C-alpha cells in the first residue's frame, strides 16, 4: 500500500505589498481568504488567521497560521523555507515564507 503525506496547514511570515507597489490600500482582517501560489500559475484557496490582532496593514511582517483547502497536488509545495505569493484574483497583494508545517497526516491510497 502506498501512503501519501497530506498537509494543508502551515505557519508563515507574511508581508502585504505597499500600495505604491500594487498592493492593497486598506488592511486585511482576521480570517482573510485570499489565494496562494507556490512558484507556479496554480492558485490554491485558503484562509489566514491573525492571532493577537484583528488586522494586517500593508508593511509589517507578522507570523500567522494559514489554512488551505485540500488539493491533491499541494503537499509537494508545502515545506519550511518555501516562498509563496498572496493573490486577490489575478493581483499579487503580498508574499509569504513558510516557517513550519502544522498537522501533517498520512493516508493510504
Q: Tens digits of per-residue pLDDT, 35-94?
A: 999 988 899 999 999 877 778 888 778 899 999 887 777 777 789 999 999 999 999 999
Q: Does residue 22 surpass a pLDDT of 90?
A: no
Q: What is the pTM of this model?
A: 0.85
Give the integer Cα–Cα distance in Å for 33 and 45: 7
What's the CATH code, domain 3-108? Answer: 2.40.30.10
- Phi, psi (5° rounding) for residue 73? -105, 0
Q: Name, in order, each residue with C-beta under 8 angstroms of 35's C-beta and a sequence gap of 6 or more.
A: 43, 44, 45, 46, 86, 87, 88, 89
* pLDDT tens digits, 2-17: 766 666 899 999 999 9
Give the integer Cα–Cα distance in Å for 41 and 24: 21
Tell which residue, 109, 8, 12, 100, has the closest CA to residue 56: 12
Amino acid at each position: 500500500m502506498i501512503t501519501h503525506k497530506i498537509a494543508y496547514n502551515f505557519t508563515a511570515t507574511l508581508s502585504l505589498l505597499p500600495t505604491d507597489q500594487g498592493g492593497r490600500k486598506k488592511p486585511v482582517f482576521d480570517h482573510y481568504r485570499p489565494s496562494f501560489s507556490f512558484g507556479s500559475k496554480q492558485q490554491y484557496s485558503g484562509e489566514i488567521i491573525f492571532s493577537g490582532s484583528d488586522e494586517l496593514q500593508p508593511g509589517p511582517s507578522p507570523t500567522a497560521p494559514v489554512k488551505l483547502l485540500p488539493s491533491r497536488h499541494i503537499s509537494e509545495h508545502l515545506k519550511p523555507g518555501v516562498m509563496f505569493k498572496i493573490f486577490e484574483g489575478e493581483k499579487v497583494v503580498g508574499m509569504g515564507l513558510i516557517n513550519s508545517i502544522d498537522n501533517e497526516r498520512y493516508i493510504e491510497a
